[in-house]
Amino acid sequence: MRIFKSAEEMQHWSLEQRISGQTIGLVPTMGYLHNGHLSLLNLARSECDIVVVSIFVNPTQFGFGEDFGKYPRDEEGDSSMCNEYGVDALFIPDADEMYASDASVYVEENSLSNGLCGVLRPGHFTGVCTVVAKLFNIVLPHKSIFGQKDYQQAVVIQRMIRDLNFPVELKVAPIVREQDGVALSSRNVYLSEDERERAHTISVSLEMVHEKFFAGEVDAKVLKELIVENLQEASLDIDYVEIVDGALLTPVESVDMGDVVLIAAYCGKTRLIDNCIF
């Protein structure tokens, strides 16, 4: 496995792969890899000749007071996991390599980013779009794999690809869950045993409304209220519970196939997100 810390060397290597006719699949991550990430790697492997993983805890997508400083990191573990999984190249730059001290260019999405996570996290999606645009230009992938867990992120990136004409195909891999249903997340490591149990309510609520929907309940208000009650019972502090159009992220009143129910809630100090496509 090749390991690149320099953007220029990464880009140079990718250009060489492209000229030799290889297709490149990029899995952008913030590291602390878990089975959710591995499912992204597997998808990249099945779609492309070459798999590149990037690991970069991107400071510009964290807001003031968020967990940038304590975000879990394990470069060595990540690196050997990637190696074992047959990743071809690992791009693992430091912040100075990614951002000049006088960096002044940003990619902004100003429609899909405004609701949901964008409300409590202003600037978050500008940070995401900018770093993903940079990663696309550095790694030059044919396809890039994102996880469905960050549903809004995937939709925003899809919009960026469309509006800026990136020659990249976005693939979204399904959410990977623990046996009890909890969505895998690097942030789960923050949870105490009690919190971990209460966090379970999020996936349970999603499963419940999913079942209700297929039993005939299409009133978004009713379905959302069921979730809110459940989360409150488990003493989770709700950021939002929304049911939206899967492409436009606009709230729906009557739920249809392809709509998405999204939850963001604090379990103690840990912000968790999860979603389910009807």
Active site residue 142: no
Nearest CA to 263 out of 275, 251, 271 is that of: 275
Among 82-90, 144-152, 155-163, 270-278, the segment contacting its own copies (CB under 8 A): 155-163
Distance between CA atoms of 113 and 59, rounded to whole angstroms? 18
- For position 115 contacting its own copies by CB under 8 A, the verdict is no
Give yes or no for residue 149 binding its own copies (CB under 8 A).
no
Non-local CB neighbours of 271 within 8 Å, separated by 6+ positions: 187, 239, 264, 265
Q: Which of 37, 142, 200, 210 is labelled catalytic?
A: 37
Residue partners of 117: CB distance under 8 A and separation at least 6: 124, 125, 152, 153, 239, 264, 273
Near its own copies by CB under 8 A: residue from 101, 105, 215, 257: 105
List beta partners, residue 266: 237, 271
Span 49-88, contacts to its own copies by CB under 8 A: none
Contact letters for its own copies, residues 15-44 (x by CB under 8 A):
x--xx-x-----------------------
Q: Are 116 and 109 in contact (CB under 8 A)?
A: no
Q: Is 111 one of the binding residues for its own copies (CB under 8 A)? A: yes
- Tell which residue, 8, 44, 12, has the closest CA to residue 29: 44
Q: Is 101 in the site for its own copies (CB under 8 A)?
A: no
Stretch that binds its own copies, among 39-47, 110-118, 171-179, 262-270 (CB under 8 A): 110-118
- Coil, strand or helix: which one is 5? coil
Which of 130, 152, 203, 270 forms a contact with its own copies (CB under 8 A)? 130
Residues that bind its own copies (CB under 8 A): 7, 11, 15, 18-19, 21, 99-100, 102-112, 129-130, 133-134, 137-138, 140, 159-160, 162-167
What residues are labeled active site?
37
